[in-house]
Amino acid sequence: MKALTTFIALSIIAISITFPAPTQITSGGDAPQAVASLEPETLSHRSREIPAQRRPWFADYPLTIDVGTNRIYASDPDRVREVQDVLGRFAGAGIDLPDLEIWTHDDLSGCRLSVEDDTPPAGVYFQRAGVDTVFLCGTTFTLIHELAHSHDNNFLTDAERNEFLSIRDADSWRNGTWSRAAGEHFADVVAWGLMNGEVRPSRTMPNDNASLDDAFELAMSFQPGVVREPVMSPIERQLSDDPGIYGATESERRDIRAKISLFATAGLRLPQLRIYVHGSTAGCGGHSGLFDKDRSGQRIDICGNVVLHELAHAWELHNMSNQTRQAFMDYTGLDVWNHADTDHKLRAIERAATVVAWGVGKGQLTAGEAPMYEEHLLHYEMLTGVRSPKLAGIPTSDHVDPAHQRIGHPPR
């Protein structure tokens, strides 16, 4: 079966349900109505419209996060990170998802089919005004399960569904009891595989390791073991086909991936990143680029030719010690590492990012050229603790830096 790339789902395919057009929400608001999927045991409710007066009430959502063309509504930053992690699992596994709205809730009441429901489900997937929507009131497994429904609804063919149905203890794809609907089996199997087998489905059979592995391989065209190797290290994710780059043309994506690989070649480990490319400086607050706009330590916004510089900021935040920062300021004579009241050019953090970006950049120096860049090379080694790749063609014995010998390397 095919496997593709993008976002989220739940435990019911409510294609025939109709909903009013969504309200534009920017900084909070009430969630749209939900359609339950895990309960009740029969699926008869899937074909009816829920009356407006029976819609569940939702508290305001103070966090509204856009991830690419998807939107996450949450009241807890940890929930946002959980959703981002799951989306990363789908992208890393090459499993396609459509554009989504994902609403997270603190308890099961957020996924009630109606106010009378005593046992609401842990998650809900449905389409509203043409937008795939997920309500999450449960665990990570539930979120993956619901996203798998979205993948099924948008990308699977009938032939693929029939092939999967033939190896499962199920009666049909969507009709009948929940535990014998192959669509639920499919969603459980995807969740099993993307969670590295940590959570075993309990209501869809067979659920032994061999059967689940075989079903996952049939559904996704690769073995679950491929995903179970710690899903992906941050640097592997950055070098994959989709390192979390949004809003970029294909040529811009290639350029960003190539610059990320320069850090890997230099031995400088980057954190997992989300990189947003904008068409004007408005997306970067009037600057050519920004790092850590959302204080997550993982976001980069690009509005100009500053990719290496912003990647250097990301590396510095996650790898450099305060002792190294102070040593760099002492040596350069700069008084402030980073403060909004200090001129941009006088902040040591900006000088450091410029040095690191230069040091990992393309182009090697010859033995004759190296002395002209002695200060740059010294600063790079002070900050990173390693030799610049620009000296790759020069044996260490042919390039000795007297200044470096004087000050040594503080620990990073």
198-234 burial, b at 16+ Cβ within 10 Å, e below that, comes to ebebeebeebeeeebbbbbbbbbeeebeebeeebbee
Low-confidence ranges of the chain (pLDDT < 70): 1-62, 68, 113-117, 222-243, 396-412
Distance CA 120, CA 345 (A): 56
Boundaries of every domain in the chain = 44-227, 235-407
Question: In this structure, are strands 63-67 and 70-74 parallel, antiparallel, or unpaired?
Answer: antiparallel
Q: Is the peptide bond before 206 cis (omega within 30 degrees of 0)?
A: yes
Q: In what order do the strands lie in the sheet with 100-104?
A: 63-67, 70-74, 100-104, 131-136, 123-128
Distance CA 307, CA 288 (A): 9
Phi-psi group of 33: left, alpha or beta (phi > 0 → left; psi -120 to 50 → alpha; rest → beta): beta
Q: List pLDDT tens digits, range 153-170.
A: 998 989 889 999 999 988
134 close to 87: Cβ distance less than 8 angstroms: no
199 close to 191: Cβ distance less than 8 angstroms: yes
Distance CA 61, CA 57 (A): 12
Please tell me the predicted confidence (pLDDT) of residue 251: 86
Which are the contacts of 209, defined by CB distance < 8 A and separation ≥ 6? 197
Please tell me the predicted confidence (pLDDT) of residue 243: 54
Report in angstroms the alpha-carbon separations of 53 from 33, 49, 72, 115.
10, 12, 25, 9
- Retrieve residue 105's tokens: 């809730």
